[in-house]
Each structure stands twice: as C-alpha cells, then as structure tokens.
Structure 1
Amino acid sequence: MSQDLLKTPLHALHIEMGAKMVPFAGYDMPVQYELGVRKEHIHCREHAGLFDVSHMGQLKLHGENAAKALEALVPVDIVDLPEGKQRYALFTNEQGGLMDDLMVTNFGDHLFVVVNAACKEQDIAHLKDNLPSDVELEEIEDRALLALQGPKAADVLSTLNPVVADMVFMDAAKVELAGIECLVSRSGYTGEDGYEISVPADKAEEFARRLLLKEEVEWIGLGARDSLRLECGLCLYGHDIDPTTTPVEASLLWAISKPRRADGERSGGFPGADIILDQIATKDVSRKRVGLVGSSKAPVREGAKLFDADDNEIGIVTSGTFGPTKGQPVAMGYVKTELAAMGTEVFAEVRGKKLPMTVEKMPFVPQRYYRG
C-alpha cells in the first residue's frame, strides 16, 4: 500500500529522523517522531515546532478579475483583500454546505490559495468549472509547504531574515530565507504565533535542515498537529465541517465577511447564499458546533454519541482528545441548538459509560497570534 501513496519532498528526511509514517489524504505522512505526540505538542507550545504540510494544495490565480471570480465562490471579501494580506475562506455548495476551508493571499500579481489535501482534486475541478476564461488557474507542484509554529518561531525565522519579525498575523510576503525565495505568511494551525512557508521543492530539505539546527526547533507530526489545533478550537475539514454543514451550524459566522452578509454592499452572490443568509437572519438552525471539556481523565473520541441528562441522544463528537496543555479531555461536536449554551452539561458515551462533559467556549487554551 505504501508504494501507492504520494510522498512530499521531505519524505526521506522524515524517515531519517525516525518518523512513524501513516497514510493521510493519499500521502505517506509522519504521525509522530521519537519525542512522541504529547512531548511534541508541549514543545510546540513552549518553543518552536516544524511541520511538513506539503500535502496541502498550493494554487495560484492569475488575471485582473481573479479576485472578483474567486469572491463569487466564497462568502468572503476577496476583492478588497489588501496586497500582502491573507484571509480564511470557505467554498460553499448550493445547499449552503461547506466544500472546503482554505487560505487566500493577495501577492499583488496573483492570488495564492492553499486548500486541504483531501479536497485538492475536488477544489481544482470546482475552480476550473467556475472561473471565467480570463482567469488562469495554476497548480503548483514544485513547492513544499512548511509550518514553523510556537513562541520561539519568530526568533528562529528572523535569524534567516529579520524582515519576518515585523510581519503580523495574516501578513504575507515574498521573502528570501537562507538564500531561498519563499512565500511566507504569519499564520498557522496551532493557535500559536508562527509562519507558513512555501519553498521550492528542490530546496525544501536544505531549508528544513537549516531550521532544525536551531535547538528550539523539533519536528512535529500529524498527531500533535491534531491536538494543538483542537485545543485552539480550529476545525478539521471532513470531521468538524463537511458538505452537510453550513457555516452557521459550524459556528463560523466570523468567517463570513460583513460586505457579503444581507446588509452588506456586496451581499450574497456565492453558492448557497440564500440559505446561509436566511440562517444568519433567523438564527434558525437545529444544531450547533460547540466545544466540550470532560471532567474525567478519559479522552472522548470522534464518533462518540452525546446525550442530555434524561438520556436523550442530542448530538455527536466530531473531534476529541486529551488536551496536554489544557490538562483535560477536550472535544468539539454538534448538539441540538437549545443545548449549545455555555455551561450546559452533556454526557458522552464511551465504551458503554456516560462521561460528563460541559459546553465551554473555544479556544480551550488562549490563541497567541502576533498582532503587533
């Protein structure tokens, strides 16, 4: 099976570093290294973690009307996205469901789009079907993508070029790092300060080794990537959000730009807009994504059913683990809207036992993005 899996440009380095490899989104990916998931998680929170996220799709949109064309597919303001800035966006379908979540950056001469690995082929087809002829879609296959995350990330990366220290959260720029031309954004998927760095594939190993020379930096695998993002309340596509979930149900109202809402000057115009805007106006949804914290030590995993105090089934857990930083089991899932209020006690079924959990505000640990 492993020979059928795709490999990132850093695959050989992961093997050399003793990574445990697993299939993920069609790639052979590192789930953990010798440190182990818990220690990797803590290291990222305290120092700097290096992640290989080259399995993600990297795309460029060229043309004068690229922003207008992309804006027609997402409930987000792309037309007014300033040069050198990045924005979180959502592909929606005609039912208001979420096809994928993505990051969009305006580099001036093009829009740079990063999509989820599992949705890459679907998203490329969606763009090809919907972009006008004067907008060119370029699939980037000769670049790796690395994330450097944690409180020491800025100190580490600024030794390669001090300009990155002046960037703030969601800034993006073309930056030369160790003599390599990179596309850098100050963003990430851990809740920590950090950067995502697109680097030419043939320079990726050299660049990664340069970062790993710093004592603050350790490789971090998919296992800790999952627990880090979950503690910070960040959705995982295909688990916490999917084509049957609307942004309102998913508690992602913040991701819908004001100009695209019902009272905005450029409202609607994206797939499923009528359904989504109606849900915003009426607040009429039957379920909501919530954060859950357990009072026992037992982790509650994806797929666990949720019940109320009267033993009525009220929802399901979509992501769950023991939060190493929180020191408690943390999860997110969907419950009936009337049970989504903070402080509500619910019960998760784990191996035939009903474990008490409380609806809590996310993130479970403070996000530490650098905003200047």
Structure 2
Amino acid sequence: MTTEPTDPIKLPLDALHAELGGKMVPFAGHSMPVQYAMGVMGEHLHTREKAGLFDVSHMGQMVIRGEGRAEALERLLPIDVVGLKEGRQRYGLLMLPDGGVADDLMVANRGDHLLMVVNGAMKCLDLEIVQAGMPDHDVTLLEDRALLALQGPSAEAVLAGLVPEAAEMRFMDVRTLDWDGTELWVSRSGYTGEDGYEISVPVARAEAFARALLAHEDAAPIGLGARDSLRLEAGMPLYGQDLTAETTPVEAGLGWAIQKVRRTGGAREGGFPGADRVLAELAEGATRKRVGLRPQGRAPMRTGVALYADETGGDPVGEVTSGGFGPSVGAPVAMGYVPADCAVGTVLYGDVRGKRLPVTVADLPFHTPRYKR
C-alpha cells in the first residue's frame, strides 16, 4: 500500500520569502528558503559580521501547564528543570528507554508555564511522548505563533531599535516584551554560535515584525544553507544526523547538558528514560564519541562518508554525520563519530567516491561562540 506525498506546509512568511527572492525547498515537512540572492556563503558571512534573520517557524512551540510540571518533565528529560529559574531557559534532551535521544530542545520557565521549542520534523512525535509522559498536565503544541531567529553581532542593535528592553537580556534569558502592542516571547539564544535572539510572535503580526527588523541596514534574510554551515562551524549537532534515536547524550558529547543534580549521587539522580545506560556512560565513558573532523585539502566530506583507520584496508571505524565548507574557517569542516580512544590529531581516512582521503580528528567548535553572558 502506498500513500500520496503530502505537499510541504507553507510558513506564515511564505509570501515575504517569495518577495525577497528566497529559493524554496522542502525541509522537515515545510517549504522553507534555502538561500536568497546573496547566496549561502554571503549569508553565512553576513551573519558572522552583522545580523541575519531566519524564519524558523517550522519548529514546534510546546506549552506545558499544571502544578508540578517541572518535576513531571524531569521524568522525561535528564536536566534540572526544577531548578530552572523564572525567566531562564536551558538546553535539554527528550530521552528514549534505551538511552537514545528522541529529540533535542530548549525549555524555558515562563512563570505560569514551561515553553519547549522542539525540532520541526519531530514536533508531533514529541507531543505524543510528552503528553503520554505527563497525563496530568496540559501539554499544547501552539499553531498561532511564528518563530524568528535574529543572529549575529548586530542582533542586539537591530532588535533593541524596536524593543529597547532586549538589550538588557543575557545569554539564555527569556522575557515577554511588547512591540507595537504585540506580545513577543524573546529568548537570547540561537543556533549559529553568535549572539542573538529567538522571537516567538503571533502569526498575524509576523510579517510586519519581520519587515521592521529587515528595515535595519545591518539585517538581511538568511536561508537554511547558511544556517547549516553556521551551526556546523559552531559544533552544534543536527537532530537526525549528528544526534539520533540510536545516539546517547554521552556519545554525542552532550554530557554537559546533564546537571550535577541529575547525575549519580545528585539529589534527583536518574529517573529519566535510559538513565541506567546514560549514568553508566557518564561514569565509565562511551565506546564512541562525536568529534570535529578537518579534511585535508579542499574537498568537503559529506554526511555518510565512512571513516577508516588505514589508508588501504580494514573495516570502517566511524562515519561523518555532517560536513561541508566552513566559510568563516576557509576550509572544509565536518563532524562525526569515531572510537572513544581517537585523540585530537589522529589521522583517519574518509572514503570519498572510492578514494580514501586523510581527515584529522579536531576539537569542537571550529568557530568560538560569541554569546553575551
């Protein structure tokens, strides 16, 4: 039995993307701009130097209400939700029973509710998992709010020109701010390694707000292509490639996201799906790890390239999960999984079209984040 393909969902700003010359492609079930006239490299460098505006309305915005919501959510996430202060957010992982990751996300304490921002391709499954795990709470996936990301060293000046209070925020702060009678839910965070904001805005006001941001001389629309190269340089995993249901947080190098209070000996140790495996790996180490990779030469190594210890024989020892050209680095960069004993500087060989080319294990990130702390 076959099913008819579903047309990609149009974003609330679809008409604006067309007006701005966005090249639209299917992504995570949505029609999204991959680039504009500036091109991927130009957009990448513009974001590093000034401010880029990304439409990330495909992401899921999930509201959780009810007494004891933080304690209940800790049964699904290995992070400290109870200790998350009002007006703050942190990175989190939705866990599976075998220690794999169902999704990575951001969770914010907005006072009378928690707000989770989850990946677009996973939002419906995430909703099912959270509703099943929190049956006594009101868990809602919002449909009436768009999400924009404003990233880069000029992001503060651009947003503060419309909402002056945004300049007072620090990395991982969340606030409700007013713009022209419209309630904005603002977090100082992003997915590029640059200072910036993610802004939830009612769909009915999203286009007017986006136009107001783009009226600033430093702001430009940026597509998926540059978003991917920016996050790769910043060493941030992409769910579905660098982080999957078969990957544990420790293998992915995300043990830092599990606070002390949730680790062995902590006040609220474990209690999340897959805790036995994850806590054991935190204590003893995993057999493989996510690392940075520097291909030698100018040829990028893309997702799926097998990695070998030897130039001529043997079985694969790892795999590239993300790769491309790093415009800020001026060279190819990649991420992937290798045996845990592969130290920085180890030379491996990636199979590119039947040729084994050298690649060096490197530290992450390739571009040092510039957050306002």
TM bucket by the smaller chain?
Answer: over 0.9
Partner residue, 1:84: 87
Q: What do residues 149-195 of structure 1 show as CA deviations (whole Å, max 9, x unaligned)?
A: 00000011111121111110000000112432100000000000000
Alignment partner of 2:97: what SS? Answer: coil
Query: What CA distance in whole angstroms lies between the structure 2 residues aligned with 1:298 and 1:263?
Result: 47
1:2 offset after TM fit, Å?
Answer: 9.4
Give the CA RMSD over aligned residues: 1.2
Counterpart for residue 328 of structure 2: 325
Offset at residue 346 of structure 1 (A): 1.1
Deviates more, 1:306-315 or 1:260-269: 306-315
| Closer/same/farther in 2, CA of residues 138 and 270 from structure 1, 3 Å limit | same
CA shift digits 1:220-263 (9 cap, x unpaired): 00000000000000000000010110011111111111100002
1:306 aligned residue: 307
Q: Are the equivalent residues in 2 in contact too, given 1:288–1:335 (CA < 8 A)? A: yes
Structure 2 counterpart of 1:143, from 137, 142, 145:
145
* 1:212 matched residue in structure 2: 214
Contact 1:293-1:330 within 8 A present in 2 as well = yes
28, 33, 36: which is aligned to 1:25?
28
Aligned to 2:121: 118
Shift of 1:3: 7.5
C-alpha distance in 2 between matches for 1:231 and 1:63: 39
Partner amino acid, structure 2, of 1:293: R
Residue of structure 1 aligned with 2:7, choices 4, 16, 32: 4
Give the partner amino acid of 2:352: V
> C-alpha displacement at 1:7, in angstroms?
1.1
Following superposition, the deviation at residue 355 of structure 1 comes to 1.9
CA distance in 2, matches of 1:155, 1:121: 35
- Quick one: which amino acid aligns to residue 346 of structure 1? L
Give the SS at the match of 2:90: strand
- Post-superposition offset of 1:338: 1.9
The residue type paired with residue 361 of structure 2 is: V
For structure 1, list consecutive stretches of 5 or more residues without a partner in the other structure.
Answer: none
Cα distance in 1, alignment partners of residues 177 and 361 from structure 2: 42
Q: Does 1:250 align with 2:229?
A: no
| C-alpha distance in 1 between matches for 2:57 and 2:5 | 17
Q: Distance in 2 between matches of 1:267 and 1:344?
A: 36
1:162-241 matches, cutoff 5 A: 162-241=164-243
- Aligned equivalents of 1:3 and 1:51: distance in 2? 24
- SS of 2:317's partner is strand
The C-alpha deviation readout for 1:260-292, integer Å capped at 9, x for no partner, is: 000211000000001110111111x22111110
Instruction: Give the structure-1-normalised TM-score.
Output: 0.97
Q: What CA distance in whole angstroms lies between the structure 1 residues aligned with 2:6 and 2:97?
A: 38
Encode CA deviations 1:322-362: one digit per residue, 9 max, x unaligned. Answer: 100011110000011122x1111111111122221111111
Counterpart of 1:252, as a letter, is L
Residue 143 of structure 1: how far off its partner (Å): 0.4
Q: Distance in 2 between matches of 1:323 and 1:163?
A: 34
Distance across 2 between alignment mates of 1:231 and 1:180: 35
Task: Report the TM-score, using the length of structure 2 for normalisation.
Answer: 0.97
Question: Aligned residues: percent identity?
Answer: 56
SS of the aligned residue for 2:105 comes to strand
Q: Give matches, 1:265-304, under 5 Å.
A: 265-283=267-285, 285-304=286-305
Q: For 1:2 and 1:278, how far apart are their aligned partners in 2?
A: 43
What code does the residue aligned with 2:340 have?
T
In 2, distance between residues paired with 1:227 and 1:22?
17
